[in-house]
Chain A
Amino acid sequence: MPPEISLLLDRSESYVAQNRRADKKQSLLRGRTIINLFFEASTRTRTSFELAGKRLGADVINMSVSTSSVRKGETVIDTAMTLNAMHPDVLIVRHPESGAVKLLSEKVNCAVINAGDGSHEHPTQALLDALTIRRRKGRLDGLKVAICGDILHSRVARSNIHLLNIMGARVRVVAPRTLLPRAVERLGVEVYHDMGEGLAGCDIVMMLRLQTERMQGNYFPSIREYFHFFGLDYEKLGRASAEALIMHPGPMNRGVEIDSLVADDYGRSVIREQVEMGVAVRMACLELLTGDPAGGDRGNI
């Protein structure tokens, strides 16, 4: 198991404790500048990163950039160069195009955190999911995890498949064929098209949001048919392990991919806990990327 992931998760644990105290702030990153650069609308991820930076004592600036009217490649680079000239320590970037964050990171000499690029990756989401699972189950190795729904458009799914496989979990994806990318089995997952079969014996049921804003054409006929076959309700959940946890990266479409009763089942649903872990994981990322005042190599996540 790669030590850097275990280290990140271990460091996150201490921040979980810190975030539950009345005084949540420390000065580890005092004097550092963090820019939240979001080319795509976001509430929870942006807020989560902002809190993470502020609780470590850094100065955090939020920038939202609309990409609608400009040629995207140019804007990303121009924006990056401009911001770079102001000497930030960390850029946290979200962009609707896959690969755009990588492109930007090549043009700056500060640390860059990918906060989600297109349908490609969302690494801090995968880390916070891993932390949530590890705290509840005590391990990741050997767990059966079903990732269900809109795999095709999901960066969360790709990052989770990647991380969970590295950590020794057994990952399945469950979706209609229209919502699975080609050759998905080559990512190291078992593929199912039936929720009952896909959830059978699973320890973790991870639901994904239907990303209708990325859909062009016919991926499924109607919401009611989607919910009938692929929405998580108690009947389908009954096939999973009795101690199975329910996860969702949010924001949820209630009655579309998940039944409200299941989403709010506090005995099994850890959806709110995922949000809490998000702040802690992002604090650990910021610490590891910038925390060395001697000025070692600054990496990217």
Chain B
Amino acid sequence: MTTKSTATGPRVAYVNARLLDPASNLDQPGGLLTDGESIADFGPHVTPSAYPADAEMVDCDGYCLAPGLVDIRVQLREPGEEHKGTLASAGRAATAGGITSMVCLPNTHPVIDDMSVVEFVARRARLLGLTKVYPYAAVTKGLEGNSLAEIGMLAEAGAVAFTDGVKSVASARVMRQALQYARTFDVLIVEHAEEPTLAAGGAMNAGEVATRLGLVGIPREAEVIIVERDIHLVRLTGGRLHFAHLSTTAAIDAVRLAKRGGLAVTCDTAPPYFAMNENAIGDYRTFAKLSPPLRAEEDRLAVIEGLLDGTIDAIASDHAPEDEDAKRLPFAQAAFGGIGLETLLSVSLELHHNGHLPLLDVLRLITCNPANLMGLPAGRLAKGARADLTLFDPDRAWQVREHELYSKSKNTPFDYRPVQGRVLMTVVDGRRVFALRG
């Protein structure tokens, strides 16, 4: 990858690229021209010998140039827990992972249940100029599950959708009213599906491994109970609902049936749930303590099946930074969660390398599909659209090592994993915000 700068204007020509745009099923050699913050042109006619003379030239060496990735489930920890992660550290990690838009959960301190916090997060992220940040706001005040947050005014302030973050809305009545009220403003509710009383006290998936390790299990039924309940409530209210990070066979089957029935139900999963199973916990590895917990092998296969047949609409990183103090503890006391911004593309590409999905279909799950779910102006190559781009080598092999990651917290469940596919450059609004060293 070389650049040639005789540039006199704000234009940049990315040439010798393999252009990939899942939204338009584009996969062909060509180039892309940006003008300031926007995409001015792209296609086979943008070549090293045919680009505007005033433009800077970036030679992509045949690597893949795709829309910047869209990640719809990220925990930022700012405001409130900056020792675990900040908007700046997450922004650097996200750009290193090729992510140009991310949607952050409201479980900060203070909770994003007030217009002022929505505006705080949006303004801080804008000033950083890294990955764009779109906030979720809380469904219920203080994420306490009792009374509705100001969904209408929060949506006006810029909240893209509503979720109680890492908690389910436990009360069926509150969820019914949330779906009904949200439908008044045509906004989406996002649910972490886990029946809280059934999951209480659990540390990992219930089953043989938990029994052998002597850990309290979280039954898989905790997920499907909420999924089934909520599907019935969607049918009752006509609301729109999205399930985050589904991990079990039964829950995915339930969503598949609901979609066939024409209900406005969608879902995503996260890389750990199709790339690993509960055995990754091994000898009490707390970096593999996730929420929902890593499940059995049959569930992992069901997640892949759901990705293949379109039941699962998107893959999100489920980035959840936890510092050493929260992870270097006996397994049951350790915090749930793993970081994922920098491994989203590489681990998702395993679906391609293992022969499950064509490259374009893998990209679809991390670009236009999640953008469409959240109504974000992102995730596609289009003239006039913002120049949010990812340049990556789909085949380059590397090993994930926690200390080499940009994320402030290092709790990756993929530590030591050999992966294939690496981000070389990330462009946000026409600006190169990340370039791989070496």
Instruction: Please give the residue numbers on chain A whose beta carbons come within 8 Å of chain B beta carbons, in ascending order.
Output: 176-178, 193, 217-222, 224-225, 228-229
Contact = CB atoms under 8 A, between A and B. Distances in A.
B237 A218 contact: no
B237 A177 contact: yes
Contact of B147 (A178, A221, A224, A228): A221
Contact of B184 (A177, A217, A218, A222): A177
A218 B147 contact: yes
Contacts of B185: 193
Contact of A225 (B150, B177, B178): B150
A123 B425 CA distance: 71
Interface string B149-173: 1111100000000000000000001
B177 A178 contact: yes
A224 B237 CA distance: 24
23 contacts: A176-B184, A177-B180, A177-B183, A177-B184, A178-B177, A178-B180, A178-B184, A193-B185, A217-B173, A217-B177, A218-B146, A218-B148, A218-B174, A219-B177, A219-B181, A220-B181, A221-B181, A222-B150, A224-B150, A224-B153, A225-B150, A225-B153, A228-B153
Contacts of A193: 184-185
Given A218-B147, A220-B181, A225 B174 contact: no
B352 interface: no
Q: Main secondary structure on chain A at its contact with chain B?
A: loop
* Interface hub of B174, B184, B185 (most chain A Cβ within 10 A): B184
A228 B152 contact: yes
The 8 A-B residue pairs with the shortest CB-CB distance in the complex, in nearest-first order:
A221-B148, A218-B148, A176-B184, A225-B150, A177-B180, A221-B150, A218-B177, A193-B184
Interface string B308-332: 0000000000000000000000000
Interface in B174-190: 174, 177-178, 180-181, 183-185
Given A177-B237, A217-B173, A218-B174, A225 B152 contact: yes
A176 B173 contact: no
Interface of B: 141, 146-153, 173-174, 177-178, 180-181, 183-185, 237
Given A222-B150, A225-B150, A225-B153, A178 B173 contact: no
Contacts of B237: 177
Contacts of A221: 141, 147-152, 181
A224 B156 CA distance: 14
A222 B152 CA distance: 10
B164 to A, nearest CB: 13
A225 B137 CA distance: 15
B339 to A, nearest CB: 33
Nearest to B186: A193
A115 to B, nearest CB: 31
Contacts of A178: 177, 180-181, 184
* Interface hub of A178, A193, A219, A221 (most chain B Cβ within 10 A): A221
Contacts of B150: 221-222, 224-225
A177 B146 CA distance: 19
Nearest to A193: B184
Nearest to A228: B153
A177 B233 CA distance: 14
A222 B150 CA distance: 7
B148 to A, nearest CB: 4
Nearest to B147: A218
Contacts of A177: 180-181, 183-184, 237
Given A178-B181, A219-B177, A221-B141, 18 more contacts: A177-B180, A177-B181, A178-B177, A178-B180, A217-B174, A218-B146, A218-B148, A218-B174, A218-B178, A218-B181, A219-B181, A220-B181, A221-B150, A221-B151, A221-B152, A222-B150, A225-B151, A228-B152
A228 B149 CA distance: 14
Nearest to A194: B184
A265 to B, nearest CB: 26
Nearest to B140: A218
A225 B182 CA distance: 13
Nearest to B239: A177
A42 B213 CA distance: 66
